[in-house]
Amino acid sequence: QVQLVQSGAEVKKPGASVKVSCKASGYTFARYAISWVRQAPGQGLEWMGCSRAYNGNTNYAQKFQGRVTMTTDSSTSTGYMELRSLRSDDTAIYYCARGTYDFFPWGQGTLVIVSS
């Protein structure tokens, strides 16, 4: 079945970077995009951007421009999201999902805690 499995929880200090991975299985990875959505504690969903595995193109939400990099590696069917210059308000669950504007399936989520 189509499945996305994300890397484990991370604890980072303010100013550091985090890189989350998302390994896909059950479909042809190169035909789709991987998008990233985050959810702060008790809050709603926030789209961060996407990386298209078929051509490498990316789109980022304006809020994260310059601070985020999303990539895909078709040789390992894995998507990556790196967020730099972390702040306390970046504490959230980060989800990957297949697709560009509708998302199925979703990964299980990766908790990133930013704390000094």
**Contacting residues toward another protein, per CB under 8 A:** 35, 37, 44-47, 50, 59, 61-62, 95, 97, 100-109
Shortest distance in whole angstroms from residue 55 CB to another protein: 15
Specify whether the CB–CB gap between 23 and 108 falls below 8 A. Answer: no
The CA-based dihedral angle spanning residues 27, 28, 34, 38, taken in that order and rounded to the nearest 10 degrees: 10
Shortest distance in whole angstroms from residue 112 CB to another protein: 15
Shortest distance in whole angstroms from residue 7 CB to another protein: 15
Q: Which is nearer to another protein, 43 or 85 (CB)?
A: 43
Rounded to an integer, what distance in angstroms lies between the CA atom of residue 42 and that of residue 30? Answer: 34
